[in-house]
A and B are shown apart, each in its own frame.
Chain A
Amino acid sequence: NAGVTQTPKFQVLKTGQSMTLQCAQDMNHEYMSWYRQDPGMGLRLIHYSVGAGITDQGEVPNGYNVSRSTTEDFPLRLLSAAPSQTSVYFCASRGTAKNIQYFGAGTRLSVL
């Protein structure tokens, strides 16, 4: 009964470092999304995918890359971390038949 699993839960990076935030879901959902949550700004969509091999940009895609090689996994890559990317990142998934998004527990990222 895992749902949406995000790793790591916490991460501290130095400016310029790269890393990948992992997201996996076991519900065979077609749609997957990455959001960032910042105080007073709610959740903002970074990238999304409507199926394996298909990704597209959301509202705030700069500085992030994604890929979707399998239905289950949707990693988010920071190629050169910046302090402005300090945030809480949430991965979400949903199937096409329902309007319910399921969220992971989040990754708290600090960029120094």
Chain B
Amino acid sequence: AQSVTQLGSHVSVSEGALVLLRCNYSSSVPPYLFWYVQYPNQGLQLLLKYTSAATLVKGINGFEAEFKKSETSFHLTKPSAHMSDAAEYFCAVRAPASNYGNQFYFGTGTSLTVIP
């Protein structure tokens, strides 16, 4: 079975500071991993994805994430936070032969606040 754990439902950083959002997964097979961002009153938008190629994945808006198999982690980082980064972030996993028609399992989300 697959699952995703996001540590910290709320994270606050100062503008210009490092952003680190944590995600740990469990999967019986090498998974595909994703980060989505949700701005207020909007749907989810893909930030980046890992699909067994390079372990360091770069996404949009300066975000990147590193797949660490030994730690079963896929943490999201950005070197310098911007006010426009304030949003809800979701980590998701999909195993190549998962239940529910290869569907996605989402974490509970982390709300990022950027302090001026």
Contacts and interface: CB of A to CB of B under 8 A. Distances in A.
Interface of A: 4, 31, 33, 35, 40-45, 48-50, 56, 58-59, 90, 92, 99-101, 103-106
A105 B100 contact: no
Contact of B106 (A31, A42, A104, A106): A42
Interface stretch (B13-21, B38-46, B70-78): B38-46
A107 B9 CA distance: 23
B101 interface: yes
Nearest to B51: A99
A103 B90 contact: no
Counting chain B residues whose Cβ lies within 8 A of the other chain, the interface size class is 20 to 34
Interface of B: 9, 32, 34, 36, 41-46, 49, 51, 90, 94, 100-104, 106-109
Contact of A42 (B41, B90, B102): B90
Most chain B CB neighbours (cut-off 10 Å) among A92, A100, A101: A101
